[in-house]
Structure 1
């Protein structure tokens, strides 16, 4: 009887320990199942345990040192050109997606009113994706304009976009965008992108009007889609094994625009209709990349025949610009890039802005594609003024691009 009692107590202790371990294991399992899931790829991804929401976090920064030459004088500048924080993901269902992007350096934010208010919010968009072809967005983001603008500034081969992009592009705006993406697996592919927006740019703080801007873009891929979305960044990092070509065009009618560049620029004294046209072509094959672009802006400018101070005039820059860019990516991930840009204002605007020809030569070392790269660039600009005078300027720049 004594030994039986001892054996009974021993088995009871083991059973109790096993039950305790089972309860503890279940509690641990419950805690684990309540924790979010993390993923790593382009940024850091967080998914809720019930898969009802997902958020991806990314950042990127551009730090640069520049030497600028003008009138036999050299000026040196060191700055953080861009510092961006981006969040994207979905809520409730992968069909309901969002994108948020913030910018922080003063040179990146710009100003919105009296040089005081920082322009932190770049993108704040809600997207509804009913299927793989349609995409409907509401909020503030880039309009479907010229190719170089649609490319992220982090996906550029040179340290910045061309002089024509800064003059003619239609930038960001608040509105509704509807895209149809054919997404064909083989052969001819195409995208149709449209937008109806306020026409006054991002974070506009002044009194608005009832007029709108209408934008449409058509993208054609006659030889099929690019590998790894290669149409949306510069250079042939994918080393296309067969030739790839994109032909595209955009048009915007900005009715009663309040700003000199439509979505950007100074406030106009009188609202004006602005019409913008963009034509682009990209070709990539085995490390070679060629890009051609034509940009044009038209408006009924009312520039007086005589004026005392050009800085006091508020007008729309009308005219056209041409960009051409050629590059080759070596097997060691060094790339050589050359770009030529020509900018030609209309006769009445030429009185206030010179005709320009710009030549750029760059060398880029890709360490982790566009996410981590070292860039050097030398650029020279020739300006021809209406009165017959001319001016030459140049800059040499080194830039580090880093992001996740």
Structure 2
């Protein structure tokens, strides 16, 4: 088996490294990066074409009003800079050797700053080798090839945030090695295969080290051909598809000896656990319509999801396990207004049902695209239902307005 694996790697390398000629003016977009781009940003190319640098920024400013059905909780008005990102990408020496850097500065992006811990501003820091337009190899930190909505940039969403299932089940960013193979044609069956071997502890993790790695594999199919302008990388029908387009994908992720409740993020566990994630996605776009359906699941191969503090057994930390589905549909009008609806359900594993509720979310949104996803106004109303094992009222709703702008 080991010999077969080595031969396979050598075969893939021979294909990749044997086809090194391609147009130096080829776009620097990389399928493995979680970015949405409109236009070329602010670019600098040296006179001798030795290097290229593109600079981009984006920010999301929002205001939210929260109302709780629990009479003990008062309404809340929240104003925040949800995201403030700065991005650099380009190549050095040769267009086949690329780099990508993304930094975050908003409070929610950086997270809680703890004394003695690193400031968590680095989101992406990747070095790539792209020998041709099909193959890409990368080393560094970026998003793993997970579910569709998580891989999409937060700046390419129809609504102001991702679903409740993405908040709990995604695999997000990690440090490691990634490889991608794409075979894309607009009018023919197309596909992509992606893989990653990573640390499993998430972005900028410096607390502990172990030999447990995370392994991710993903396949993507385009039965009716690729979408216009890489239309799977952004939500909504902002690019008119003359013919129906379908996207199907499946992901398997194994995280050995995970030390956090959700693998790459979450509270620290008292004992490590082996985690498994499964994702499935369906995207349909035709003319002004867009539809998305997603399935997400996390389990552990260990007998118990709950870990206990050996010094105080009353203190617990647990793997967030369970499953959920998202259903999302939209229609874009000729004046660039878009009406969106989303329904999500989430069921937690029975071992953690006494600590976490099952949940449902109903959302209606209205977005005005001024400059595609790069400059847009978004309004949203969401209602959240929570079903606790013990009697506890957890329902709430919110109204939100958000402005996004970037280059």
TM range (shorter): 0.7 to 0.9
How far apart are residue 109 of structure 1 and its match?
1.3
Shift in CA distance, 112/202, structure 1 to aligned 2, threshold 3 Å: farther
Q: Is the 8 A contact 2:307 2:317 kept in 1?
A: no
In structure 1, the residue matched to 2:262 is 261
In structure 1, the residue matched to 2:395 is 392
Q: Is the 8 A contact 1:111 1:117 kept in 2?
A: no
In structure 2, the residue matched to 1:217 is 218
Q: Secondary structure at the match of 1:243?
A: strand
Alignment equivalent of 1:333, drawn from 323, 332, 336: 336
> For residues 128-167 of structure 1, what are the structure 2 equivalents within 5 Å?
128-167=129-168
Q: Is the 8 A contact 2:63 2:401 kept in 1?
A: yes
How far apart are residue 115 of structure 1 and its match?
9.0
> For residues 214-253 of structure 1, what are the structure 2 equivalents within 5 Å?
214-253=215-254
Q: Is the 8 A contact 1:333 1:365 kept in 2?
A: yes
Shift in CA distance, 230/304, structure 1 to aligned 2, threshold 3 Å: closer
How far apart are residue 114 of structure 1 and its match?
5.5
Q: Is the 8 A contact 1:112 1:205 kept in 2?
A: no
Shift in CA distance, 112/403, structure 1 to aligned 2, threshold 3 Å: same
In the alignment, is residue 55 of structure 1 matched against residue 58 of structure 2? no
Q: Deviations over 1:22-81 (max 9, x none)?
A: xxxxxxxxxxxxxxxxxx933101000000100000000000000011124210000000
Q: Is the 8 A contact 1:366 1:374 kept in 2?
A: yes
How far apart are residue 183 of structure 1 and its match?
2.0
What runs of 5+ residues in structure 2 fail to find an aligned partner?
Answer: 1-37
How far apart are residue 287 of structure 1 and its match?
1.1
In structure 2, the residue matched to 1:293 is 294
C-alpha separation in 2, matches of 1:217 and 1:250: 4
C-alpha separation in 2, matches of 1:130 and 1:95: 6
C-alpha separation in 1, matches of 2:379 and 2:40: 25
Q: Is the 8 A contact 1:217 1:250 kept in 2?
A: yes
How far apart are residue 392 of structure 1 and its match?
1.2
In structure 1, the residue matched to 2:381 is 378
Q: Secondary structure at the match of 1:41?
A: coil
In structure 1, the residue matched to 2:17 is none
Alignment equivalent of 1:349, drawn from 345, 349, 352: 352
Q: Is the 8 A contact 2:174 2:198 kept in 1?
A: yes
Alignment equivalent of 1:41, drawn from 39, 42, 48: 39
C-alpha separation in 2, matches of 1:387 and 1:284: 42
Q: Is the 8 A contact 2:127 2:139 kept in 1?
A: yes
C-alpha separation in 2, matches of 1:264 and 1:373: 30
Shift in CA distance, 69/132, structure 1 to aligned 2, threshold 3 Å: same
Q: Deviations over 1:218-259 (max 9, x none)?
A: 110000000011001000111111000000011100011111
TM-score (norm 2): 0.86
In structure 2, the residue matched to 1:108 is 109
In the alignment, is residue 173 of structure 1 matched against residue 174 of structure 2? yes
How far apart are residue 117 of structure 1 and its match?
3.7
Greater displacement, 184-193 / 383-392: 383-392
How far apart are residue 111 of structure 1 and its match?
3.7
How far apart are residue 390 of structure 1 and its match?
3.8
In structure 1, the residue matched to 2:318 is 315
Alignment equivalent of 2:63, drawn from 62, 65, 90: 65
How far apart are residue 84 of structure 1 and its match?
0.1
C-alpha separation in 1, matches of 2:236 and 2:402: 17
Greater displacement, 381-390 / 246-255: 381-390
Shift in CA distance, 217/311, structure 1 to aligned 2, threshold 3 Å: farther
How far apart are residue 136 of structure 1 and its match?
0.2
In structure 1, the residue matched to 2:365 is 362
Tell which has more relative contact order, 1 or 2 (C-alpha 8 A, sep 6+): 2
Shift in CA distance, 83/310, structure 1 to aligned 2, threshold 3 Å: farther
What runs of 5+ residues in structure 1 fail to find an aligned partner?
Answer: 1-39
Shift in CA distance, 191/310, structure 1 to aligned 2, threshold 3 Å: farther
C-alpha separation in 1, matches of 2:137 and 2:60: 31
Q: Is the 8 A contact 2:144 2:173 kept in 1?
A: yes
Bigger Rg, structure 1 or 2 = 1
